[in-house]
Amino acid sequence: MQHKNIEIMSGIANIDDSTPTGRKIVKELEKHKRVVKLSYSQTEEIPEGCIPLEEGIEEFWKHLENSLGFDLRQYKEDVLVK
């Protein structure tokens, strides 16, 4: 069955995904890939509250060390030397 003279409506919405409600709306829209096309703004700015990559990696290693009880990086070096 073909429909003739179908008018396609489109709109633009700015959704603040830093809030729980905004994330919920985006998540719901992502479920409808056939009819919804999402695009995200590209920005060169670092969002407020972000930490540099190097600091994040170091934080990750510290978390592993606290969880495992030893520094995994040192263990890896010891194993490779032997």
Has residue 12 been placed in a domain?
no
| 7 in a structural domain | no
In-domain check, residue 32: yes
Does 48 fall in a domain?
A: yes
Per-residue pLDDT of the chain (82 residues; tens, 9 = 90+): 555 667 777 888 889 888 999 999 999 999 998 888 888 877 777 777 888 889 999 999 999 999 988 887 787 655 555 5
Residue 10 lies in a domain: no
**Which domain, by its residues, includes 44?**
20-81
Assigned domain for 14 exists:
no
Supply the pTM of this predicted model.
Answer: 0.43
* pLDDT attached to residue 78: 56
Cβ neighbours of residue 61 closer than 8 Å, sequence gap 6 or more: 71, 72, 73
Is the residue at 37 inside a domain? yes
The number of distinct structural domains making up the chain is 1
